Amino acid sequence: MNKWYMNPGEQDDIVISTRIRLARNLDDFLFPSKLDAATKTQIGGIIKDALDGCEPALNFTDMSALSHLQAVSLAERHIISPEFTVQAEGTGLLLSEDESVSIMLCEEDHIRLQVMKPGLDLDGAYEEADSIDNKVDGKVNYAFDDGIGYLTSSPSNLGTAMRASVFLHLPALTENGRISDLANTVSKLGLSISGVYGKRSSPIGDIYQISNRLTLGITEQTAISNLQSIVMQLIAQEKTSAQRLLEDTAGQDRVFRALGILKNARVLGGTEFMQLISLVRCGVAGGLIDIPIEKINTLIIEMQPATLSVTNSSIETVAQRDIARAEAVRNSLSQ
Amino acid sequence: MNKWYMNPGEQDDIVISTRIRLARNLDDFLFPSKLDAATKTQIGGIIKDALDGCEPALNFTDMSALSHLQAVSLAERHIISPEFTVQAEGTGLLLSEDESVSIMLCEEDHIRLQVMKPGLDLDGAYEEADSIDNKVDGKVNYAFDDGIGYLTSSPSNLGTAMRASVFLHLPALTENGRISDLANTVSKLGLSISGVYGKRSSPIGDIYQISNRLTLGITEQTAISNLQSIVMQLIAQEKTSAQRLLEDTAGQDRVFRALGILKNARVLGGTEFMQLISLVRCGVAGGLIDIPIEKINTLIIEMQPATLSVTNSSIETVAQRDIARAEAVRNSLSQ
């Protein structure tokens, strides 16, 4: 079955994906950090039962049964949080076949439900998350306060307990250095922006996640609509900058050389791959290169180190992984 | 009409071309350095007349009528010597349509006849040069001494007055650093080896010219046979080194990245082009890349700066030339 990220979406020349994440807790239990493994397992069972017959169907995975590589691969694909790769006993994962819907069971909260959509689709993602949330809500008692809203383990999520995120590819705004100014502006508007891959101080691949920070005293709809309007402005600014970059022969040269290397290299490290695919994605978005953007997005997800290793059992060393990455990229881009 | 270098030749995975050059002087005149323009023109006329009806037909060019760019382009293509680009009054050039036969009139000697062949073909080139030489010899009196042989302006050419050269592509021996040892060995055997492009101290493109140095007390046949045997040894050594280089994934990676850049770049400087095409040529010679080697050789000749500018009248700046080079290379390699 196709994964969710293999499909096109709105504004997908610049917006890679949209994510809605809801945190929920059951009223009858302490927060997960205070629970033993058996109780966590019990809670997981309650939630699994509550979602029986859910559309899409969610498959259960006992986190402690996974290899570390499999867990890291889930985090690379943003299906679980990096913290959840520790795989404490009793924690679990519910995941739809296309990987668009996932629920971490007994991570920081009892329920961490997320819905991913390709391109910009905050309303669509929220609707689907809300409908799954309602299904559970009808069968369990949520920890909820009429004045505050949903109660969460961390005070920063109190209220809507919703984190809406948009993943943007902003190569031109990174190139011309405007991204740091924009991060400051966005921060003043109650949103946060950070690099998705690499270290926070030096993100690679020019992919950024922009999210709402406020959850208290604000409705989900207002938070989403604020985020949507900032994202539309970022898209417009990136397009203007990208046009300027790609009008220039030197800019075109960089984009096409990146394509030439990706289509021909025999060894491709993870960081170099991200730098080159970012240039190629910029060229695709700008109409210079004719490759479906979903194919680029798929490579960005599937060429991450642990994910590549999980899907290719012959990889045992970094050197083998870099050769396998080069081969997979070549095959994908030459089709 | 096709140029001579567009055809395949023996050992042409490593040997780019073979050249025989003969120096001759007319007995009734002083050496060119002692002559005025009118007398040089007179000598040019005598030689032109002597070669009337020659096969291949030789077209006359008054060197002083050329632009400097045209003259430099002739030197880049090894049709004339770099010194001959000064275009003194009275000097001329006889050139066959396929550019394989050329005669500089009143360069250092009255006649500097050369025959170029693709690949390794010392005997073929010598035979043709000898036959043209005989044609002239039947109509003029050469400056010749029974004891010494042909008399030449520079003592270093006395005797056979023949310089036999083979142009070799030796990327692997350059890469592993063995080329400087080989240059010493070759020198002790009475031959000289030097880089063809770039500065002598740092040749670019890994192309070397190996020539006989001795002309006195040795027959043409012996000089040619010595050169041939050293060239065969260099070919064998290069093949062994290249095989080792291309067995390695890192070596293959370099070769294919070079191909990817050449097929995609929008801006390509002269030095970078030579470095990349050398890697690609190595890959073609090693059977990794399927491109006719003559196409590579043709690019090496036709992408040189002055030659590119001469054939592309819209080029006025270095930046425009680098764009035009990238476009021409792309078009050639994508066919």
Quote the minimal CA–CA distance from B290 to chain A in Å.
14
Provide the whole-model pTM: 0.91
Q: Residues 6 or more apart from A221 whose CB is under 8 A from it?
A: none
Chain B contact for A264, CB < 8 A? yes
Would you state the structure tokens that stand for residue A124, as one six-digit string? 């669509």
- What angle separates helix B179-188 from helix B220-247, to the nearest 10 degrees? 170
DSSP string computed for B298-322: HHHHHTSHHHHHHT-TT--SHHHHH
Taking CA–CA distances from A246, the nearest residue in chain B reads: B266
The per-residue pLDDT for range A147-180, each reduced to its tens digit, is: 999 999 999 999 999 999 999 999 999 999 999 8
B297 CA: distance to closest CA in chain A (Å): 22
Q: Examine the pLDDT at A131 and tell me if it is beyond 90.
A: yes
pLDDT digits (tens, 9 = 90+) for B61-77: 999 999 999 999 999 99
B250 touches chain A (CB under 8 A): yes
- Cβ atoms B204, B276 nearer than 8 A: no
A113 to A94, A102, A132, A158: CA distances (angstroms): 9, 6, 9, 15
Looking at residues A258-278, what average pLDDT do you find? 97
Phi, psi (deg, nearest 5) at residue B135: -60, -45
Cα B225 from Cα B108, distance rounded (Å): 27
Q: Is A267 near chain B, with CB under 8 Å?
A: yes
Confidence band (pLDDT; 50, 70, 90) for A87?
confident
Q: What is the pLDDT of residue B286?
A: 95
Chains A and B form CB pairs within 8 A to the count of: 50
Is the pLDDT at A335 greater than 90, yes or no? no
CB-based contact A257 B265, cutoff 8 Å: yes
Closest partner CB to A249 (pick from B253, B264, B266): B266
Residue A6 has pLDDT above 70, yes or no: yes
Q: Token pair of B268, please? A: 């390509």
Confidence class for position B7, pLDDT limits 50, 70, 90:
very high
Chain A neighbors of B256, CB-CB under 8 A: 264-266
Please indicate if any CB of chain A lies within 8 Å of the CB of B247: no
State whether residue A200 sits within 8 Å of chain B by CB: no
pLDDT above 90 for A203: no
Handedness of CA B154, B156, B160, B166 (dihedral sign): negative
Are A270 and A305 a contacting pair, CB within 8 Å?
yes
Instruction: Give pairs for A175-178: CB < 8 Å, separation 24+.
Output: A175/A206, A175/A241, A175/A245, A176/A241, A176/A244, A176/A245, A178/A237, A178/A241
For residues B307 and B328, what is the distance between their CA atoms, to the nearest angstrom?
A: 12
Looking at the domain that runs over B4-241, which CATH code has it been given? 3.30.590.10
Question: Once rounded to an integer, what is the mean pLDDT over residues A324-335?
Answer: 95
Q: Examine the predicted complex and report whether its ipTM is higher than 0.90.
A: no
| Whether the predicted pLDDT of B197 surpasses 90 | no
**Residue from A257, A290, A330 to probe the interface with B (highest B Cβ count within 10 Å):** A257
- What is the distance between the alpha carbons of residues A326 and A269, in angstroms, rounded to a whole number? 8
Where are chain A's structural domains?
4-241, 248-334
Whole-angstrom distance, CA of residue B323 vs CA of residue B308: 11
- pLDDT tens per residue, range B110-167: 999 999 999 999 999 999 999 999 999 999 999 999 999 999 999 999 999 999 999 9
Q: What's the one-letter identity of residue B160?
A: T
Span A258-269, average pLDDT: 98
pLDDT at A201 over 90: no
Euclidean distance between CA atoms B214 and B226, whole angstroms: 11
Does the structure show a pLDDT above 70 at A264? yes
**Tokens at B260, concatenated:** 């990817």
Say whether A262 and B260 touch across the interface (CB within 8 A).
yes
For B294, the token pair is 């003559």
Q: Mean pLDDT over residues B166-190, rounded?
A: 92
pLDDT over 70 (residue B201): no
- Cα(A105)–Cα(A124) distance, integer angstroms: 23
Helix ranges restricted to H, A164-317: 171-175, 179-188, 220-247, 249-264, 270-285, 293-302, 305-311
At B87, the pLDDT band (50, 70, 90 cuts) reads confident
User: Element (H or E) spanning A4, and its range?
Assistant: none
Tell me the pLDDT of chain A averaged across its residues: 95
Calculate how close chain B gets to A264, using CA atoms only, in Å: 5
